[in-house]
Amino acid sequence: MTPPELELKELFELWMDSPLKVQIVSFYHRNPGMIETVEGLAQRIGSNPEMVRKTVADHVKLGFLRERNLGNLKVIVYDPDSEKKLQEYVAQQVKSRGRRVAS
């Protein structure tokens, strides 16, 4: 496996390699202005707070979810611009790989 393929594979693993990750991404797509604690997010989607905390950490690494301090609470905020950049990068990488395979 070449390094660029590994990078893309790792990116997908951080982004959407589990049903919970997809569920969290979908939640923020439906509620882009939502500001919530991990515990509140877990309650809203019907999941375990510790599992949500681990999953959100991967999304924070990618940059489209951000942790912010709101008073004495740590909240999660969605950054749609960062996710759009991520989607564009993935599309560019997939398109680039398609051209190399076709050559």
**Residue 74's beta-bridge partner residues?**
69
Of the candidates 12, 22, 3, 10, the residue with the CA atom closest to the CA atom of residue 91: 12
pTM of structure: 0.76
* Largest separation between any pair of C-alpha atoms in the chain: 56
**pLDDT, position 4:** 47
Asked if 23 contacts 45 with a C-beta cutoff of 8 angstroms, the reply is yes
Task: Provide the pLDDT for residue 100.
Answer: 59
Number of H helices, E strands in the chain: 5, 3
Token pair 């707070």 in the structure block, residue: 49
Domain 3-102 has CATH 3.40.1710.10: no
Asked whether residue 58 carries a pLDDT value surpassing 70, the answer given is yes
| 3-class secondary structure, 69 | strand
- Encoded tokens for 81: 């611009």
Q: Where do we find the tokens 């960062």?
A: 82
pLDDT of residue 13: 67
- Among the ranges 10-19, 34-43, 61-70, 77-86, which has the highest mean pLDDT value? 34-43
Note the pLDDT tens digit of each residue in 1-57: 333 444 767 766 666 778 999 899 999 999 999 999 999 999 999 999 999 999 999
